[in-house]
Amino acid sequence: MPQPALLAISHGTDSRAGQSAVRRLVDAVADRLPDVTVRLGHVDVQQPDVAASLEALPAEAPVVIVPLLLSAGYHVRVDLRAQSAGRQGVVIAPALGPDPRLVEVLVERLHALEASDSDTIVLAVAGSSDERANDDCRAVGTMLGERLSRRVTVGFLAAADPRLDAAVAQGATRGSRVVVANYLLAPGYFQDLAVRLAGGASVARPLLDADAPAAGLVDVVLDRYRTAAGRLPD
Protein backbone atom coordinates (compact mmCIF):
# COMPACT_ATOMS: atom_id res chain seq x y z
CA MET A 1 0.00 0.00 0.00
CA PRO A 2 1.43 3.44 -0.90
CA GLN A 3 2.06 6.01 1.78
CA PRO A 4 -1.17 7.98 2.24
CA ALA A 5 -1.10 11.55 1.01
CA LEU A 6 -1.27 14.22 3.70
CA LEU A 7 -3.84 16.89 2.90
CA ALA A 8 -3.42 19.72 5.40
CA ILE A 9 -6.60 21.79 5.59
CA SER A 10 -6.40 25.27 7.07
CA HIS A 11 -9.30 27.54 7.84
CA GLY A 12 -8.14 30.00 5.19
CA THR A 13 -7.44 33.73 5.52
CA ASP A 14 -7.24 36.89 3.45
CA SER A 15 -4.07 37.85 5.32
CA ARG A 16 -0.94 37.47 3.20
CA ALA A 17 1.10 37.09 6.39
CA GLY A 18 -1.25 34.37 7.61
CA GLN A 19 -1.15 32.56 4.29
CA SER A 20 2.65 32.60 4.27
CA ALA A 21 2.86 31.39 7.87
CA VAL A 22 0.60 28.41 7.20
CA ARG A 23 2.49 27.60 4.01
CA ARG A 24 5.77 27.53 5.94
CA LEU A 25 4.25 25.02 8.37
CA VAL A 26 3.12 22.75 5.55
CA ASP A 27 6.50 23.04 3.83
CA ALA A 28 8.23 22.08 7.10
CA VAL A 29 5.94 19.04 7.39
CA ALA A 30 6.71 18.05 3.77
CA ASP A 31 10.44 18.30 4.50
CA ARG A 32 9.97 15.74 7.28
CA LEU A 33 8.00 13.38 5.01
CA PRO A 34 10.04 13.13 1.81
CA ASP A 35 8.20 10.00 0.65
CA VAL A 36 4.70 11.40 1.20
CA THR A 37 2.66 13.67 -1.05
CA VAL A 38 1.83 16.72 1.08
CA ARG A 39 -0.72 19.28 -0.09
CA LEU A 40 -2.44 22.32 1.41
CA GLY A 41 -6.13 23.13 1.04
CA HIS A 42 -8.68 25.25 2.88
CA VAL A 43 -12.10 24.84 4.41
CA ASP A 44 -13.06 28.50 3.94
CA VAL A 45 -11.94 31.83 2.38
CA GLN A 46 -9.10 30.48 0.19
CA GLN A 47 -8.77 28.09 -2.72
CA PRO A 48 -8.29 25.25 -3.33
CA ASP A 49 -11.11 24.06 -1.14
CA VAL A 50 -11.38 20.53 0.23
CA ALA A 51 -13.12 19.08 -2.82
CA ALA A 52 -10.67 20.60 -5.30
CA SER A 53 -7.72 19.50 -3.17
CA LEU A 54 -8.95 15.90 -3.14
CA GLU A 55 -9.64 15.94 -6.87
CA ALA A 56 -6.05 17.04 -7.51
CA LEU A 57 -4.77 13.82 -5.91
CA PRO A 58 -4.77 10.49 -7.76
CA ALA A 59 -8.17 8.83 -7.44
CA GLU A 60 -6.70 5.63 -6.01
CA ALA A 61 -4.48 7.37 -3.44
CA PRO A 62 -5.40 7.02 0.24
CA VAL A 63 -5.56 10.41 1.94
CA VAL A 64 -5.20 11.63 5.50
CA ILE A 65 -6.79 15.02 6.06
CA VAL A 66 -5.04 16.86 8.89
CA PRO A 67 -7.06 19.87 10.04
CA LEU A 68 -4.75 22.80 10.75
CA LEU A 69 -7.29 23.90 13.32
CA LEU A 70 -6.70 24.25 17.04
CA SER A 71 -9.98 22.77 18.26
CA ALA A 72 -12.65 20.38 17.04
CA GLY A 73 -15.49 22.73 16.11
CA TYR A 74 -17.96 22.82 13.22
CA HIS A 75 -15.31 22.73 10.50
CA VAL A 76 -13.76 19.53 11.86
CA ARG A 77 -16.93 17.74 12.93
CA VAL A 78 -19.19 18.73 10.02
CA ASP A 79 -17.54 20.56 7.11
CA LEU A 80 -14.59 18.24 6.57
CA ARG A 81 -16.78 15.14 6.81
CA ALA A 82 -19.31 16.52 4.34
CA GLN A 83 -16.75 17.85 1.87
CA SER A 84 -14.78 14.59 1.75
CA ALA A 85 -17.71 12.17 1.88
CA GLY A 86 -17.70 11.45 -1.84
CA ARG A 87 -14.25 9.91 -1.90
CA GLN A 88 -13.13 6.49 -0.68
CA GLY A 89 -9.91 5.98 1.27
CA VAL A 90 -10.04 9.25 3.22
CA VAL A 91 -9.58 9.54 6.95
CA ILE A 92 -9.76 12.75 8.98
CA ALA A 93 -7.27 13.29 11.78
CA PRO A 94 -8.19 15.11 14.99
CA ALA A 95 -7.63 18.84 15.39
CA LEU A 96 -4.19 20.00 16.50
CA GLY A 97 -5.27 20.84 20.03
CA PRO A 98 -5.37 20.44 22.88
CA ASP A 99 -1.74 19.33 22.98
CA PRO A 100 1.06 20.12 25.46
CA ARG A 101 3.44 20.91 22.59
CA LEU A 102 1.19 23.80 21.60
CA VAL A 103 1.38 25.01 25.18
CA GLU A 104 5.16 25.09 24.88
CA VAL A 105 4.86 27.35 21.85
CA LEU A 106 2.58 29.63 23.87
CA VAL A 107 5.19 29.76 26.64
CA GLU A 108 7.94 30.69 24.18
CA ARG A 109 5.79 33.49 22.77
CA LEU A 110 5.21 34.78 26.30
CA HIS A 111 8.93 34.67 27.02
CA ALA A 112 9.48 36.95 24.04
CA LEU A 113 7.29 39.53 25.81
CA GLU A 114 9.38 39.10 28.97
CA ALA A 115 6.27 38.10 30.89
CA SER A 116 7.01 37.97 34.61
CA ASP A 117 5.60 35.94 37.48
CA SER A 118 3.59 38.95 38.61
CA ASP A 119 1.81 39.43 35.29
CA THR A 120 -1.80 38.39 34.79
CA ILE A 121 -2.11 36.03 31.82
CA VAL A 122 -5.17 35.92 29.60
CA LEU A 123 -5.35 33.36 26.81
CA ALA A 124 -6.98 34.72 23.63
CA VAL A 125 -8.92 32.10 21.67
CA ALA A 126 -11.19 32.44 18.64
CA GLY A 127 -14.34 30.89 20.12
CA SER A 128 -16.86 28.60 18.46
CA SER A 129 -20.59 27.92 18.26
CA ASP A 130 -19.65 24.34 19.20
CA GLU A 131 -19.17 24.25 22.95
CA ARG A 132 -16.91 21.20 22.62
CA ALA A 133 -14.42 23.35 20.71
CA ASN A 134 -14.60 25.99 23.45
CA ASP A 135 -13.91 23.28 26.00
CA ASP A 136 -10.82 22.29 24.00
CA CYS A 137 -9.58 25.88 24.32
CA ARG A 138 -10.38 25.99 28.03
CA ALA A 139 -8.35 22.80 28.41
CA VAL A 140 -5.37 24.56 26.81
CA GLY A 141 -5.87 27.45 29.25
CA THR A 142 -5.73 24.97 32.13
CA MET A 143 -2.62 23.33 30.68
CA LEU A 144 -0.92 26.71 30.25
CA GLY A 145 -1.79 27.64 33.83
CA GLU A 146 -0.30 24.40 35.09
CA ARG A 147 2.81 24.95 32.99
CA LEU A 148 3.25 28.47 34.38
CA SER A 149 2.09 27.59 37.91
CA ARG A 150 -0.50 30.35 37.89
CA ARG A 151 -4.08 31.00 36.96
CA VAL A 152 -4.80 31.67 33.28
CA THR A 153 -8.11 33.16 32.20
CA VAL A 154 -9.49 32.34 28.75
CA GLY A 155 -10.86 35.27 26.74
CA PHE A 156 -12.95 34.54 23.64
CA LEU A 157 -12.97 36.63 20.49
CA ALA A 158 -16.40 35.42 19.37
CA ALA A 159 -19.30 33.10 20.21
CA ALA A 160 -18.53 32.54 23.91
CA ASP A 161 -17.86 34.37 27.18
CA PRO A 162 -15.94 35.92 28.74
CA ARG A 163 -14.93 38.01 25.74
CA LEU A 164 -11.29 38.96 25.55
CA ASP A 165 -11.83 42.62 26.39
CA ALA A 166 -13.81 41.68 29.50
CA ALA A 167 -11.17 39.17 30.59
CA VAL A 168 -8.40 41.75 30.14
CA ALA A 169 -10.37 44.38 32.05
CA GLN A 170 -10.99 41.93 34.88
CA GLY A 171 -7.30 41.05 34.98
CA ALA A 172 -6.34 44.73 35.18
CA THR A 173 -8.34 45.12 38.39
CA ARG A 174 -5.73 42.99 40.13
CA GLY A 175 -3.22 45.80 39.73
CA SER A 176 -0.70 43.83 37.68
CA ARG A 177 0.30 44.01 34.04
CA VAL A 178 -1.97 41.97 31.77
CA VAL A 179 -0.28 39.91 29.08
CA VAL A 180 -2.32 38.15 26.41
CA ALA A 181 -1.13 34.72 25.33
CA ASN A 182 -2.27 34.05 21.79
CA TYR A 183 -3.93 30.73 20.96
CA LEU A 184 -4.45 31.58 17.30
CA LEU A 185 -2.70 29.69 14.56
CA ALA A 186 -1.54 32.56 12.35
CA PRO A 187 -1.96 36.27 11.59
CA GLY A 188 -5.32 37.27 10.19
CA TYR A 189 -8.71 38.63 11.18
CA PHE A 190 -8.79 37.17 14.68
CA GLN A 191 -5.22 38.27 15.42
CA ASP A 192 -6.14 41.84 14.49
CA LEU A 193 -9.28 41.57 16.60
CA ALA A 194 -7.28 40.28 19.57
CA VAL A 195 -4.96 43.28 19.42
CA ARG A 196 -7.94 45.66 19.32
CA LEU A 197 -9.82 43.99 22.15
CA ALA A 198 -6.71 43.76 24.31
CA GLY A 199 -6.97 47.52 24.80
CA GLY A 200 -3.26 48.21 24.98
CA ALA A 201 -2.25 45.05 26.85
CA SER A 202 0.75 43.24 25.41
CA VAL A 203 -0.36 40.53 22.98
CA ALA A 204 1.95 37.63 22.14
CA ARG A 205 2.40 36.55 18.56
CA PRO A 206 0.23 33.69 17.23
CA LEU A 207 1.61 30.16 17.08
CA LEU A 208 2.73 30.75 13.49
CA ASP A 209 4.24 34.00 12.31
CA ALA A 210 7.08 35.26 10.13
CA ASP A 211 9.63 33.03 11.86
CA ALA A 212 10.15 29.32 11.18
CA PRO A 213 7.39 27.14 12.63
CA ALA A 214 8.18 25.66 16.03
CA ALA A 215 9.44 22.09 15.86
CA GLY A 216 6.79 21.04 18.36
CA LEU A 217 4.02 22.32 16.12
CA VAL A 218 5.45 20.42 13.16
CA ASP A 219 5.58 17.32 15.36
CA VAL A 220 1.90 17.67 16.24
CA VAL A 221 0.94 17.69 12.55
CA LEU A 222 3.14 14.66 11.89
CA ASP A 223 1.67 12.76 14.82
CA ARG A 224 -1.89 13.52 13.73
CA TYR A 225 -1.05 12.23 10.25
CA ARG A 226 0.67 9.05 11.39
CA THR A 227 -1.99 8.11 13.92
CA ALA A 228 -4.81 8.70 11.45
CA ALA A 229 -2.96 6.82 8.69
CA GLY A 230 -3.05 3.77 10.95
CA ARG A 231 -6.86 3.79 10.69
CA LEU A 232 -6.85 3.34 6.92
CA PRO A 233 -7.67 -0.18 5.73
CA ASP A 234 -4.77 -2.29 4.48
Domain 5-97+211-229's class?
alpha beta
Query: Domain extents for the chain?
Result: 5-97+211-229, 100-203
Counting as low any pLDDT under 50, the low residues of the chain are none
Q: Pick from 21, 14, 73: which is nearest to 205 by CA? A: 21
Please state which CATH number belongs to domain 100-203: 3.40.50.1400
One fold for 5-97+211-229 and 100-203 = yes
> What are 22-81's pLDDT values in tens digits?
999 999 999 999 999 999 999 988 999 999 999 999 988 999 999 999 998 776 777 888
Distance CA 131, CA 230 (A): 29
What pLDDT was estimated at residue 174? 82
What pLDDT was estimated at residue 96? 97
pTM of the model: 0.95
Compute CA distances 31 → 25, 119, 145, 218, whole Å. 10, 38, 33, 10
What pLDDT was estimated at residue 225? 98
Answer for the pair 203, 197: CB distance below 8 angstroms, yes or no.
Answer: no
Answer for the pair 113, 179: CB distance below 8 angstroms, yes or no.
Answer: yes
